Amino acid sequence: MPDASTLGPLPQWDLADLYPSPDGPELAGDLERSADKAKSFRASLEGKVAGLSGADLAAAIAEYEAIEEVLGRIMSYAHLRYAGDMSDPEIGKFYQSMQEKVNAISTELLFFTLEINRIAEADLAAKMDDPALAHYAPWLREVRAFRDHQLSDELEQMLHEKYVAGRAAWTRLFDETMARLRFPFDGETLTTSEILDKLSHRDGAVRKKAAESLSQVLGENVGLFALITNTLAKDKAIDDKWRHYKRPISGRNLSNAVEDEVVDALVEAVRDAYPKLSHRYYAIKAKWFGRDKLDYWDRNAPLPNDDDASISWETARDTVLDAYAAFSPDLAAVGRRFFDNPWIDAPARPGKASGAFAHPTVPAAHPYLLLNYQGKTRDVMTLAHELGHGVHQVLAGPQGHLMSDTPLTLAETASVFGEMLTFRSLLAQRTDPAQRKVMLAGKVEDMLNTVVRQIAFHTFEERVHDARAEGELTPTQLGDIWMEVQRESLGPAFNFEDSYRVFWSYIPHFIHSPFYVYAYAFGDCLVNSLYAVYQDAEQGFAKKYLDMLKAGGTMRHKELLAPFGLDASDPAFWSKGLTVIEGMIDELEQMD
């Protein structure tokens, strides 16, 4: 891992913009006031929602939104403290305590959306004549999308209350287990983020040793990870059965405001393209390494002529902001706020959540970014990615707490677009053919990780959930599914040793957000098409793009993409996006 003198000072976030301290009067006061307001809200409106006028329903929604925003602020603070150090039992206790208290308060509010969903369509249409209620039309549309899957009030309340002792508790067990794992390596003990970073080390012996250490420790814990996976899959199956979802993925698609058929078309297009994309690229990469096949730990290996130099934080910041500014000074100005303020937590440290994320918190505050920055080119791209999320969240904030959230399928658009801007900027600066080849190969690998790898993850989830319907899965069965999917997606250019069988167990998305992962491929293919429109120098593209980000959750993908002449429901749409990756592989092949 590079030392601090190489990377320079790395920023750490200050959560005081949310609350000054976990035990201060500000947080305690918000909890107490929220509890009182929620009880009062329920006492005055329960059983009466359908009879409200349009104006009165709008006022009730505004009151509901205000309470929910405060609860969102509390949980954002608790989650970010927890992500900063999952190994501290006091922080874990605080996080669980906040979950339980907020859950109890939100239980008082549960009746409201349930009653909204029981309003007849004709009655609601009449109420929508009121402009104040019409403002909330997008939120009402998304709430009412779940009408057919709603249970009785008593069951909904019971499931809501049990969440903290059910799915949330199993998720916490996974997170804290992963945070506490230590991986032996050359006399040191490394965190998950640090050992994963070794898999992209220049030295093949280091990569192999890191893979063996990762496999050893995951293998020692695979029984627990299998239990967590089995339990959550069964929990989801029970919920899906009661709610009458056709397939395990259907609930996720509904929350993403995307049709099952659109996602099926994406998955089919990517899987059909495996031979033209991943199989072909990794065969080329093996040839660059002078080998017939790569070992699985060589998937993210730097190319032989990659200088692998560490990139300082200051350089990474300037690289990303300059790329954003070349596209839109307004976009860069929003992005710069994250660096001018303590909104980013960049260092890798023990106990910290692995990977990276952007947390939107609430519109009354601002987003925060979590990274594990270690100075690689991929880390710069991760910064560009998460900053894209952050900028999107800031721009969508004025839509308000209920309508600023973007469906996952579109939430990845700004992040992947930010990566593409940064990559194109860096590539334009490279005049040496060898370095251009390294840059282009790195981008292809990132795209394969975003598209092929994520659809492979999606396929793994589908097969696991389908198999779990027949009974509990052993670690061996889970490993069999994993290996089958990896061989199918990455192709014949790899040697897959048995030590790779447990690598499914560290992927957090399977635990945190079932069927989340296809959103990455959705976003990458969408951005490829979007960037092609931009390259055609269409007048006013940047303004249209910023308007799309500002829309937040008020529009669905068809409405948002229409100004660009794109339609994700057209099966040919996905092939266009995949053709961009294929074209880059063509270019690399011609460089040999």
Task: Please tell me the predicted confidence (pLDDT) of residue 308.
Answer: 63
What pLDDT digit, counting tens, does each position of 176-187 carry?
999 999 999 999
In the chain, pLDDT over 70 holds for what percent of residues? Answer: 98
Nearest 5°: CA angle at 453, between 449 and 458?
140
- Which residues have C-beta within 8 Å of that of residue 563, sequence separation ≥ 6? 544, 547, 548
The mean pLDDT value for 228-249 works out to: 97
Task: Please tell me the predicted confidence (pLDDT) of residue 62.
Answer: 98
Structure tokens at 27: 């947080």
Task: Grade residue 456 by pLDDT with cuts at 50, 70 and 90.
Answer: very high
Q: How far apart are CA 554 and CA 134, in angstroms?
A: 12
Task: Please tell me the predicted confidence (pLDDT) of residue 535.
Answer: 83
Q: How far apart are CA 589 and CA 566, in angstroms?
A: 30
Mean of the per-residue pLDDT values of the chain: 94
Q: How far apart are CA 116 and CA 105, in angstroms?
A: 19
Contact 559, 565 (CB under 8 A): no
Task: Grade residue 4 by pLDDT with cuts at 50, 70 and 90.
Answer: low
Phi/psi for 359 (5° steps) reads: -105, 120
Phi/psi for 80 (5° steps) reads: -70, -40
What pLDDT digit, counting tens, does each position of 393-409 carry?
999 999 999 999 988 77
Structure tokens at 134: 């019409």
Structure tokens at 344: 């980013």
Task: Please tell me the predicted confidence (pLDDT) of residue 3.
Answer: 57
| pTM of the predicted model as reported, rounded to 2 decimal places | 0.87
The mean pLDDT value for 267-283 works out to: 96
Q: How far apart are CA 4 and CA 27, in angstroms?
A: 35
What pLDDT digit, counting tens, does each position of 326-359 carry?
999 999 999 999 999 999 999 999 999 988 999 9
- Which residues have C-beta within 8 Å of that of residue 302, sequence separation ≥ 6? 200, 201, 202, 308, 438
Nearest alpha carbon to residue 342 among 15, 572, 8: 15
Task: Please tell me the predicted confidence (pLDDT) of residue 307.
Answer: 67
What pLDDT digit, counting tens, does each position of 64-95 carry?
999 999 999 999 999 999 999 999 999 999 99
Contact 258, 523 (CB under 8 A): no
- Which residues have C-beta within 8 Å of that of residue 299, sequence separation ≥ 6? 199, 282, 445, 490, 494
Q: How far apart are CA 161 and CA 164, in angstroms?
A: 7
- Which residues have C-beta within 8 Å of that of residue 185, sequence separation ≥ 6? 195, 198, 209, 210, 213
The mean pLDDT value for 110-120 works out to: 97
The mean pLDDT value for 231-248 works out to: 97
Task: Please tell me the predicted confidence (pLDDT) of residue 249.
Answer: 96
Task: Grade residue 220 by pLDDT with cuts at 50, 70 and 90.
Answer: very high
- Which residues have C-beta within 8 Å of that of residue 568, sequence separation ≥ 6? 258, 262, 409, 522, 526, 557, 558, 561, 574
Q: How far apart are CA 520 and CA 347, in angstroms?
A: 25
Task: Please tell me the predicted confidence (pLDDT) of residue 93.
Answer: 96
The mean pLDDT value for 260-271 works out to: 94
Assess whether pLDDT exceeds 70 at residue 579.
yes
Structure tokens at 411: 């939430």
Q: Which domains does the chain have, with CATH numbers?
A: 15-165 (1.20.140.70)
Q: Which residues of 405-427 are buried (b: 16+ CB within 10 A; e: fewer)?
A: bbbbbbbbbbbbbbbbbbbbbbe
Task: Please tell me the predicted confidence (pLDDT) of residue 81.
Answer: 98
Task: Grade residue 2 by pLDDT with cuts at 50, 70 and 90.
Answer: low
Task: Please tell me the predicted confidence (pLDDT) of residue 310.
Answer: 86
